[in-house]
A and B are shown apart, each in its own frame.
Chain A
Amino acid sequence: MKFLRDLMDKQKPLFEKGGKLEKLYYAFEAGETFLFSPNHTTGIKGAQVKDAIDLKRMMITVVIAMIPCLLFGIYNTGHQHLLATGGTAGLWEDFGDKTLVGLKLVLPLVIVAYAAGGLVEAVFAVIRKHPINEGFLVTGMLIPLVVPATTPLWQVALATVFAVVIAKEVFGGTGMNILNVAMTARAFLYFAYPAQISGDQVWTYLGDKMPVDGFSGATALSVVYNAGVDGTQSAVEALAQHNTALGADLFSFTNLFMGWIPGSVGETSTLMALIGALILIGTGVASWKIIVSGFAGAYVMGFVMNLFAVNEYMALPPEYHWVMGGLAFGVVFMATDPVSASQTETGKWIYGLLIGMLTVIIRVTNPAYPEGIMLAVLFMNVFAPLIDYYVVKANKTRRLQRATV
């Protein structure tokens, strides 16, 4: 790698103070530190050695944890496409075709999100003279995973730009933001272009093919919601009988858990989200407290809803809330964002619990939109500082009580 290093050293003076391209220093620096860890040494006083971790490594760990969801999302996109257009019903039949369809749809989403967000990052870094924020490594992967595969690319680009600017850069960049950046992108799409991100028609890619008879495209959440409105059969029955044309067990509990269902690219599979959770917890990057309490909150609230069940949706067994919609993905990858989440250890329990509970409340009681995790995470992002405030206050009170004066 010596030749690369030599090349870097040769170009470096151009970008340094007084060089021709001085203004682009941080763009150069981003590239340089990506290729080579810098030769900075510790100061004269203080810790003379440092832990081997840095922010880039931490962020890339989160990206790695999302890879199972991404791969599954690519395959499932193709799978749902073939299922809906009368292709083979077997999970692993036409593997190549499904993968190709999925790749064709999902890869552009990833590329557009990274390109649009990366550009914004670079522009801000150059103008504001700060290093490029590694946080974008994660956001750029999260955004394509939480939108339907059919989302127009220009909308993804716009949402990414909006989220990076409004949710992050105006606050000062990674580490300073209040809201989860990827969730902001999704909320932007939901409110700006509802037709492309909600309803029954957006979750399955049909292309130029006709859907099979009886195809509805509804997600499990809307099936359950409708069961609640109709009140003619229980939610679980409605799930079982939905879209029998596509295979009788489309919305069986196992299928919901595995993720062979229509939905946003990366969030259908609870199993993949759990694999991601294992990676995140095992590597110590995300807080297990938030993940555990998030799932617990959803279960508890689902159970409470059962007690007061006035319609079929409220009577849905609580464990179904875990596997439907984006709860698992949201709890594992969105709620655990260390910057926008609660930052105290006690606060994390409360924060996760409330996200789980709110998700179920929104799902069950909100007539307009059957998914709750997005609003729950954003809502709790706003309340996280308040939770922390009280946890910190408790710490201060303990300290004051000890004083004998």
Chain B
Amino acid sequence: MSKIVKLKKGFDINLAGKAKQELADFASAQTFAIKPTDFIGLQRPKVLVKEGDTVKAGTPILIDKAMDQVIYVAPVSGEIVEVKRGDRRKLLEIRILADSTITHEQSEKLDLASLDREALVAKLAASGVWPNIIQRPYGIVANPEDTPKSIFVSAFDTHPLAPDYAFTLKGQEQYLQAGFDVLAKLTSGKVHLNVDGAKAVPSIFSAIKGVQLNKFEGPHPAGNVGVQIHHLDPINKGEIAWTVNPQGVAQIGKFALEGVYDAAKVIAVTGSELTKPAYVKTYLGACVSSFVKGNLNSGHVRVISGNVLTGEKIALEGFLGYYHNQITVIPEGDYYEFMGWAKPSTRLSFHRALGLLSFLSPKKEHVLDSNARGEERAFVQTGVFESVTPMDILPVYLLKAIMANDFDEMEELGIYEIIEEDLALCEFVDVSKHPVQELVRKGIELIQYS
């Protein structure tokens, strides 16, 4: 039975710089990169290519020696121009200079009716589409040897300036359906497709067969798949669920129908510092400079791969993260402000303390910069984290348990149910400016590797 869940807790960050729903004709990106650091939990990466090699889209370029069935492949065809390493030879980027026309590795189409689950998993893992499947708990690339109790797909994104999947997936209806058919074979339980209950369900999702359609209503983080799992079928110790982003479902579907790994996707190029925020069609791992340079209002900006809550700061010539469907450009905030802690301000705030007036104009689109707005302190304010976390979880206690390395407490307070993005709002609203998401990952790693 499909469910309708209404969430009250949370907070929508209304930012300026929404992408217009049209595809912009920016110059296409020349270089693309796979960043092994995007794959959380990738333990022992091994590069399968050398600088100078030529690859096709779908050619294996990387494996994790700890889980070597899963192949990470090149998003585009071209030449490997650099394998960039950092301190202690940590693998940072594998850069590919793209051909002008992309050629694909061709493999067989999947005949779902005749393939058994094991063979299907093996084909998916070897194809390059597998890293789209994320395992909960821990938020890592799923292990092909596991069978999840259910699979969750969130078909809407409530993050600031997030792309509209109904738009980015236009024309991919048959791939989406095929992708969901594949997912249905992977789990013994249900495949949940969760849509925004506040709007009419886009036909692209309402037409999908073989899934349980659930509606979620409410402010961010209602679109987070972690919150949805919590309300539909929470994860307890020892249980495994998988999650896939709709773009990933379409990619899996295309592989099933046509036998090719196609990393093309439509991303949103957003943010207050862009003269022309728009959608653009490119490939996973694209160098963002062609969308950003020449499209800037001002010079001193921060380019973020992903959204402002969970994204990652990248250089102007940086690359789109593997799991990101948007880039955001905001002003850099490295300035001093005279009496900035006392001056009345219409800057966006969840709080209403002295002089914070943003609540007076709830519809206003805000320009936020990257200033930290204060220094780190001990936890003082209480009850705020709870009011932006629509789950039966006590975030402060959970975070304190992580700080104290208390494993039992972490388990009992729900570390299995969350990943960074689920508490990202807590990091935003925190008066004491704690690195909440970093703490969450630390806690997950403590539990995962112990």
Task: Check A284 for interface membership: any CB of B closer than 8 A.
Answer: yes
- Say yes or no: A53 contacts B431, CB within 8 Å: yes
> A52 and B354 in contact (CB under 8 A), knowing A36-B337, A37-B341, A39-B334?
no
Could you say which residues of chain A place their CB within 8 Å of the CB of B433? 50, 54
Task: Check B394 for interface membership: any CB of A closer than 8 A.
Answer: yes
Highest count of chain B CB atoms <10 Å: which of A33, A50, A400: A50
Residue A282 contacts which of B310, B342, B352 (CB distance < 8 angstroms)?
B352
- Say yes or no: A403 contacts B237, CB within 8 Å: yes
- A-B residue pairs, 7 tightest by C-beta: A54-B374, A175-B378, A37-B340, A52-B347, A56-B341, A49-B368, A403-B236
- Say yes or no: A46 contacts B420, CB within 8 Å: yes
- Say yes or no: A54 contacts B337, CB within 8 Å: no
Please report which residues of chain B, range 263-291, place their CB below 8 angstroms from some CB of chain A when the two chains form the complex.
none
Task: Check B220 for interface membership: any CB of A closer than 8 A.
Answer: no
Could you say which residues of chain A place their CB within 8 Å of the CB of B438? 43, 45-46
Could you say which residues of chain B place their CB within 8 Å of the CB of A52? 345, 347-349, 351, 356, 358, 373
Q: Bits for A374-405, please: 1 = Cβ < 8 Å to B, else 0.
A: 00000000000000000010011011101111
- Say yes or no: B370 contacts A343, CB within 8 Å: no
Could you say which residues of chain A place their CB within 8 Å of the CB of B379? 175
Task: Check B372 for interface membership: any CB of A closer than 8 A.
Answer: yes
Chain B interface size, under 10 / 10 to 19 / 20 to 34 / 35 or more: 35 or more
- Min distance, Cβ B443 to any Cβ of chain A, angstroms: 14
Could you say which residues of chain A place their CB within 8 Å of the CB of B386? 345
Number of A-B contacts (CB under 8 A): 225
- Min distance, Cβ A399 to any Cβ of chain B, angstroms: 6
- Min distance, Cβ B67 to any Cβ of chain A, angstroms: 23
- Say yes or no: B428 contacts A51, CB within 8 Å: yes
Question: Which residues of B pack against A, CB within 8 Å?
Answer: 13, 234, 236-238, 302, 304, 308-313, 328, 330, 332-342, 345, 347-356, 358, 368-375, 377-383, 386, 392-394, 396-397, 412-414, 420, 424, 427-433, 435-438
- Say yes or no: A58 contacts B238, CB within 8 Å: no
- Say yes or no: A49 contacts B413, CB within 8 Å: no
Q: Supply 20 A–B pairs (Cβ within 8 Å), ascending by A.
A: A37-B373, A37-B374, A41-B372, A45-B312, A46-B310, A46-B436, A48-B302, A48-B328, A49-B370, A50-B373, A50-B433, A51-B348, A56-B341, A58-B381, A135-B380, A174-B378, A175-B377, A287-B382, A344-B382, A395-B413
Q: A49-B428, A287-B383, A399-B236 are in contact. List 11 more A-B contacts (CB 8 A).
A: A35-B338, A42-B372, A49-B370, A58-B380, A60-B341, A60-B342, A172-B378, A284-B351, A338-B381, A392-B397, A398-B392
> A47 and B424 in contact (CB under 8 A), knowing A37-B337, A176-B378, A338-B381?
yes
- Say yes or no: B354 contacts A61, CB within 8 Å: yes
Question: Which residues of A pack against B, CB within 8 Å?
Answer: 1, 4-5, 33-58, 60-61, 64, 131, 133-135, 172-176, 282-285, 287, 338-339, 341, 343-345, 348, 392, 395-396, 398-400, 402-405
Residue B412 contacts which of A45, A50, A343, A396 (CB distance < 8 angstroms)?
A396
Complex alpha-carbon distance, A34 and B392, angstroms? 38
Could you say which residues of chain B place their CB within 8 Å of the CB of A172? 378
- Say yes or no: B345 contacts A44, CB within 8 Å: no
- Say yes or no: B371 contacts A405, CB within 8 Å: no
- Say yes or no: A343 contacts B374, CB within 8 Å: no
- Say yes or no: B430 contacts A51, CB within 8 Å: yes
Could you say which residues of chain B place their CB within 8 Å of the CB of A42? 313, 333, 370-372
